[in-house]
Structure 1
Amino acid sequence: MKRYIFAAVSAVVLASAIAPVAKAEPMTANKAMSIVTATQPFNLVGLAYQGHFQDTGIPSYGGLIQAVQSGRVTAEDIVQSAVEQNRLASETLSDRGFIHAVHQHLQDLATRDRS
């Protein structure tokens, strides 16, 4: 008798767990709804230094420092690369405060390398 009660309860629990899954609709990919994380300027420069933007032409490590020192890579370039990779919202391109903060961190990185 216990076996039948256990089987009946198991069937009810299993049926209630499957029912919502069966009614679920498949999700479709929507490029307009991309997830953008809030990346801080300091972290953005760190990502560039580590090579996360190499596919957009931003060099990494010592190459980044040389490119910043020579003016070949700017804060705007790094912000643009981050927007292209959906790491930042496109509105960040017009945020002068954010771009200035990225610029300051790049300059700190380049200056620290000279020491």
Structure 2
Amino acid sequence: MLKRILLAGLSVVLLSAAAPLSAPASASSYRLNPFKLVNLARNGVFRDHGVPGFGRLSAAHQAGQITARDVIRAAIADGRLSSEVLDDSRYVRSVEHHLIDINGSRER
């Protein structure tokens, strides 16, 4: 009986340790998730990198002057994200969706 419990416990530990190695990259694997990234941009954190803050971010995004990739590049330049994020289409799309949400529009 004790052997079964130990074996089951060991199996769980081994499987949980192996899972992160085989999992694909996702937005949650980055230090900064898309929601937090857009909030930082909205609060003006990336102004020094060409991304306007507050209402100007929303207006620039609506006018097509600022894209999700621009915000991501600003975070990379600010040392908050690694450049590999630009290759993650799910992360880029998620940032885009959050930018649309701050515009007050649900049209996608």
- Same fold per TM (> 0.5)? yes
Give the paired residue count. Answer: 76
Match of 2:83, as an amino acid? S
User: Which SS does the other structure have where 2:103 is aligned?
Assistant: helix
Deviations 1:49-98 (Å, cap 9, x if unpaired)?
00000001111101001001101000000000101111001100111100
DSSP 3-state at the match of 2:37: helix
Question: What residue ranges of structure 1 are gaps of 5+ in the alignment?
Answer: 1-36
Distance 1:91 1:57 in 2: 20
- Structure 1 distance, partners of 2:97, 2:66, is 13
TM-score, normalised with respect to structure 1: 0.64
Moved over 4 A (4+): none
Return the offset for 1:111: 1.9
Query: Which of 53, 66, 69 is the equivalent residue of 2:59?
Result: 66
Which structure has the larger Rg over C-alpha atoms?
A: 1
TM-score, normalised to structure 2, is: 0.68
Please tell me the root mean square deviation across aligned C-alpha atoms, in Å. 1.1
1:97 aligns with 90
Identity among equivalent positions (%) equals 39
1:47 is matched with 40
